Amino acid sequence: MTTRPKLDARHLEMIAVLAEVPRVTEAAQRLGITPSALSHRIREVERRLDVPLFLRIRKRLQPTPAVNYLAQVARRLIAEQVRAEEDVRRMARGVRHVVRVSVESYSAYHWLPAFLRRLKEEEPDFGIEVVASASRDTLANLHERTVDLIIVSGEFNRAGVELQCLFHDPLSFIMPPEHRLANKTIIEGADVVGEHFITYTREPAPDREYARLFRPSNSYPNWSETVEVPEAIVELVAAGLGTSVLASWAISSAVKNGRIVAAQVGKGGISIPWYAAIRAGNSFEDDCNRRVMDVLANWCAERDGLSYL
């Protein structure tokens, strides 16, 4: 006899919310119920599972490790249910499979229309959905099934994923057109000393500008801002509020339009490999994701990356 789950969708939604918002009043407001109804629902879950889920400290709930685990499962199941509902509606419109895509750190999708035209030629019953919210932690979102295909760069944990290299892309030092360095085609370490530098992360990576340009030359800019949205960095640079280093493919539109100027980073340049990654597996869904990845890899090979306009 099949064992039936003890919790329903209401319970899972509550656990997911409480893992993020431990205050009863705030959690109840987000769930659209009263605090007393929320307390009743918590006791109901604990009774059904016969496990204490929270330590009650004044008006806050301290989640146990069991809650953190259940919250991960709940978010995944809720996302799967939402996805299934959306896919069923798409199937009624003739879309056989939807691949959810996200790009590491960037939300530059100027390349997407041209790629979609290619995909429709080769896989006419496939669709693409961009999940921009997954760009901050693309690999975790891939494993949690929030997305199906990610575009990522450099070194990362490759366990449980299939990869295809899409292209190698040079980093670019970007500045406003009127900047004192705007006429230089190569930016060296000494050039950046004293520059107001805007970065999307202060965590130095072994294959990026900090480790390969700033540190070897012992030349550092003024780390004036940390902005976690590269597209916002482009706007700040264009406004004359600083300089930065970003992926060349993602800033190609702004460079072409003359809003910013780009130069090579260091004499030898710094080139970063970009990959498409999907979950490893042999299901129908995995096969569909793999086919989209193949189309993307071939398309990028024809155009030397994603800077195609």
132 and 222 in a single domain? The answer is no
Q: Establish if 259 belongs to a structural domain.
A: yes
173 and 212 in a single domain? The answer is yes
Q: Please state, rounded to an integer, the average pLDDT across all residues of the chain.
A: 87
Are the C-beta atoms of 53 and 45 separated by less than 8 Å?
Answer: yes
- The per-residue pLDDT for range 182-223, each reduced to its tens digit, is 999 999 999 999 999 998 887 777 778 888 888 888 988 988
The partner residues of 101 in beta bridges, in order of sequence, read 130, 149
Q: Which helix (H) or strand (E) holds 111?
A: none
Q: Establish if 2 belongs to a structural domain.
A: no
Q: Establish if 98 belongs to a structural domain.
A: yes
| Number of domains the chain contains | 3
For residue 89, name the pLDDT band (cuts at 50, 70, 90). low
Helix (H/G/I), strand (E/B), else coil: 295? helix
Query: Can you tell me the distance from the alpha carbon of 306 to that of 144, in angstroms, rounded to the nearest whole number?
Result: 26
The residue type found at 139 is L
215 and 278 in a single domain? The answer is no
Query: Can you tell me the distance from the alpha carbon of 151 to that of 293, in angstroms, rounded to the nearest whole number?
Result: 10
181 and 119 in a single domain? The answer is no
103 and 158 in a single domain? The answer is yes
63 and 192 in a single domain? The answer is no
Tokens (6 digits) for 132: 């921009």
- The per-residue pLDDT for range 141-167, each reduced to its tens digit, is 999 888 999 999 988 888 899 999 999
Give the end of a domain, one of 73, 99, 120: 73
Give the end of a domain, one of 53, 73, 93: 73
Q: Establish if 308 belongs to a structural domain.
A: no
Of the two residues 200 and 58, the one the predictor is more confident about is 200
Residue 31 belongs to a domain with what CATH number?
1.10.10.10
28 and 55 in a single domain? The answer is yes
Query: Can you tell me the distance from the alpha carbon of 273 to that of 121, in angstroms, rounded to the nearest whole number?
Result: 27
Of the two residues 181 and 82, the one the predictor is more confident about is 181
pTM reported for the whole predicted model: 0.69
172 and 257 in a single domain? The answer is yes
Domain that holds residue 55: 9-73
What number of H helices and E strands is found in the chain? 11, 12
